[in-house]
Amino acid sequence: MNSIDSKGRILVVDDDASLAEMLTIVLRQEGFDSQVCTRGDRAVAEFRDYKPDLVLLDLMLPGKDGIDVCKEIRAESGVPIVMLTAKGDTIDVVVGLESGADDYVVKPFKPKELIARIRARVRRLDQPVQESLTIADLVIDVAGHAVTRAGQAINLTPLEFDLLVCLARKPWQVFTREVLLEQVWGYRHAADTRLVNVHVQRLRSKIEHDPENPEVVVTVRGVGYKAGTSS
Amino acid sequence: MPRRSVSSTVRRGLTFWRRSVQARVVASTVLLSAIVVGVVGWFLLQQTRDGLVDARVDRAVAEATDETNQARTRLAALPGTDDDVSTQLRQLADPILQRAEVRGFSVVLAGPVTEEPIDVASAGARYSTDLDLDSVPASLSAHFTESLDPAWTFTTMRYVDDADRPEIAGVAVASAIQLPADGKYYTLYYLFPMQQEEDTLALVSRALLTAGGLLLVLVAGLTWLVTRQVVTPIRMARRTAERLAAGHLEERMWVRGHDDIARLATSFNQMASSLQRQIRQLEELSRVQRRFTSDVSHELRTPLTTVRMAGDVLHDARNEFDPVTARAAELLQTELDRFEGLLSDLLEISRFDAGAAALELDDINLIDVAHRVVDITRGLAEQRGMTVTVQALREPVLAEADTRRVERIVRNLVSNAIDHADSGPIVVLVNGDDHAAAIAVRDHGVGLAPGEAALVFNRFWRADPARARTSGGTGLGLAISLEDTHLHGGWLQAWGQPGQGAQFRLTLPRRAGQPLRHSPIPLVPDDVEAL
């Protein structure tokens, strides 16, 4: 299955065989390799086996809940996870995002919309730039995808890394949630700003000395977020 | 200030009076009892007084007659006839005066009797020294101008002594007596004070008053107790009913004993149980139904996603198909869009029905919303050859609302107008004041028949079932808009006349939760009266 010109490998975890197959077809059309897993309890094993660049994860799965699968994958890897959910407005979305998903797509979605989401998450693979940034007391090696504080490496998921880099590149600018959605998630139209809130919280829990009083990613009330000044 | 406090006290009292059965029953019983006790008391007092006075008069007359007879005897026994008038008068009066002083009555001797009524005060030859002579009633002295028979009457006795005795009611008895010295008749007035009788009467009155008062207190207490026994369960029933009405369906009355009250409580509780059962049943039914709608919608989503993706693949490849298949792929695509719209509208409605919709409030400018909606719907409007313009009567028009929902409402109104406006421009009016903000969408289409303005917000309602649905509306747009509006505590109203177009008006409170009283835009457009 692994073609040489593949844009990436995607693990599709969905119990609906037809939908899974359709996803495979659409993904192949767009140049992605994919593998289908129809059971929640086998998802993690297949993930280890297949080593995908991105996981499409349905929330309602037989064997094991999608949320648990998401947590387990996130525990061992920062690979992007995009949730497929039938309930776009419920607490499920927030729970899914908090369990580590990077983004979500509400069924029924348009194939192009899904592809845009996937591209936004795997595009960083194509653009390694030699660059080093500092934000507060953190040093970011953009090409090496590493964040260090006083020589100590901090483990971030690619999305969290992108978010941090986005803020760090223009420390003078206040980013609204909508702008962040566009630049980090690749949304062209206004979307769910909960995505930003949840991921900023997750990012803070990893990089802040005191997540209650953030110094690296600062909230600008009523506007959005900006990078904290180097102290 | 005091007047206000007085009036407020009066008002409170009146309210208490209106609300409390107990107070009214006690008050009316006490009032009735007071009247009866008063009448009975007054009657008793009258009887007692009459009895006392009659007895006193009898005694007085008897005593006076006795004294007069003794005096006659004394005069008859006088020796010789050479005594002068004044001596004889003294001999006549002195023993009587002495006895009067001892026995507590007063005597006046006046005369002689002539054809003219004599003035006792000037003609009083001898009298008890402490008596004011005005105490002798004129009617009594006038009596002797016509007759020499004894007579009696009531009088008021006044005294002139130093002891400052008060006036007192008395009985005056008068007799005429002939003096041997000059053969003329002189009158003897005996005035008996009714001191003892007055004392007795006062005593009886006091006793009656005390008894009556105690009786009233007893009646009030009894009534209060009795009504309390009836009213307390009623009040309890009222409280229970109030709590039931407030949604505490487990609330029951306390049943004690087997009397009428207990049976009332039992029946009440049975009613409450029956109500509770039915409400629970209805709740369960509606919950199941809502759940079903939501489940169906969700279950539809996964296959729809597959179909959607398959449709997209076909649609993208339609250039490679023959014209018929290509057209089929296009139709599949548009109908899938419609299906998707319908499904998401159904889900939205089921969310409202489940009470799961929540507002995300923000200060928004309705003019911005109107412009955004006009931009979004421009394509559709141009396709139909129509123009949609925004007319802001004030800048800015702010309201605390959920942007997404308000935009959806306005979008629904505008697409609805585009759907139904056959000709003429569509105007989006925006206006506001300190209390409310409003957007009205005016079209010049077919308008609404009488009675339809109330129906347009019904789910899947159509003005004309035969009318083609061109813009792919789901039939739920206005229903969702109405729910969105209610969520904001606002108004969504429609006006329309056949041939004159229609106007849909959304009014939102300036601050979320404030009650709405008026809308800054009239529901009936200004240009209609001009026509």
Fold of B80-193: Beta-Lactamase (3.30.450)
In terms of Cβ atoms closer than 10 Å to its own Cβ (0-12, 13-18, 19+), residue A84 is buried
User: In the prediction, which pLDDT does B343 show?
Assistant: 82
The Cα of B316 is separated from the nearest Cα of chain A by a number of Å equal to: 11
3-class DSSP state of A135? strand
Tell me the two tokens of residue B410.
């306005």
User: In the prediction, which pLDDT does A59 show?
Assistant: 84
- Residue B1: is its pLDDT beyond 70? no
ipTM rounded to 2 decimals: 0.78
Within 8 A of A19 by CB-CB distance, chain B residues are 302-303, 305-306, 309
Report whether CATH 3.30.2130.10 matches the domain B260-353.
no
- Residue B408: is its pLDDT beyond 60? yes
- Residue B427: is its pLDDT beyond 80? yes
- Residue B440: is its pLDDT beyond 50? yes
Query: Residue A114: which H helix or E strand, with range?
Result: helix A111-122
Within 8 A of A89 by CB-CB distance, chain B residues are 351
The Cα of A202 is separated from the nearest Cα of chain B by a number of Å equal to: 23
User: In the prediction, which pLDDT does B179 show?
Assistant: 79
Model confidence, pTM: 0.57
Whether B260-353 shares its CATH topology with B358-509 is answered no
Measured CA to CA, the distance from residue B369 to residue B363 in angstroms comes to: 12
Stretch B269-273: mean pLDDT: 89
Partner-chain contact B302 A16, CB within 8 Å: yes
Tens digit of each residue's pLDDT (9 = 90 or more) over B444-478? 888 888 888 888 888 888 766 655 555 556 788 88
Query: Where are the domains positioned within chain B?
Result: 1-77+197-251, 80-193, 260-353, 358-509
User: In the prediction, which pLDDT does A2 show?
Assistant: 45
> Is A108 an 8 Å CB contact of chain B?
yes
Partner-chain contact A25 B313, CB within 8 Å: yes
Largest CA-CA distance found in chain B, in angstroms, rounded: 177
The Cα of B298 is separated from the nearest Cα of chain A by a number of Å equal to: 6
Query: Residue B439: which H helix or E strand, with range?
Result: strand B436-443
3-class DSSP state of B19? helix
User: In the prediction, which pLDDT does B124 show?
Assistant: 59
**How distant, in Å, are the alpha carbons of B237, B283, B483 from that of B242?**
8, 20, 29
Tens digit of each residue's pLDDT (9 = 90 or more) over B361-407? 888 889 988 998 998 888 888 888 888 999 998 888 888 988 888 99
CB-nearest to A22 from B301, B306, B351 is B306
Q: Which of A16, A19, A28, A176 to mutate to test the interface with B (most CBs of B within 10 A)?
A: A19
- Residue B359: is its pLDDT beyond 50? yes
Residues in Cβ contact with B213 at an 8 Å cutoff, skipping those fewer than 6 apart: none
CB-nearest to B305 from A25, A108, A112 is A108
Mean pLDDT (10-residue bins), chain A, 231 residues: 66 90 91 90 91 90 88 89 78 81 86 86 64 81 83 85 87 86 77 81 87 85 78 48
Q: Enumerate long-range contacts of B198-201, CB under 8 Å, 24 or more apart.
A: B198/B168, B198/B169, B200/B48, B200/B52, B201/B45, B201/B48, B201/B49, B201/B52
The CATH architecture of the domain made up of B358-509 is 2-Layer Sandwich (3.30)
> Is A89 an 8 Å CB contact of chain B?
yes
Q: Which of A12, A13, A16, A18 to mutate to test the interface with B (most CBs of B within 10 A)?
A: A18
Within 8 A of A59 by CB-CB distance, chain B residues are none
- Residue B337: is its pLDDT beyond 90? no
Tens digit of each residue's pLDDT (9 = 90 or more) over A54-67? 999 988 888 888 88
Within 8 A of A12 by CB-CB distance, chain B residues are none
Q: Which of A23, A59, A107, A118 to mutate to test the interface with B (most CBs of B within 10 A)?
A: A107
Higher pLDDT pick, B142 / A81: A81
- Nearest Cα to B493, choosing from B468, B527, B516, B470? B516
Tens digit of each residue's pLDDT (9 = 90 or more) over B198-210? 899 899 999 999 9
Compute and round to an integer the Cα radius of gyration of chain A.
18
* DSSP secondary structure letter of residue B134: G
> Is A50 an 8 Å CB contact of chain B?
no
Within 8 A of A87 by CB-CB distance, chain B residues are 298
Residues in Cβ contact with A27 at an 8 Å cutoff, skipping those fewer than 6 apart: A10, A12, A33, A34, A115, A118
Question: Residue B191: what are its φ and ψ, rounded to 5°?
Answer: -115, 115
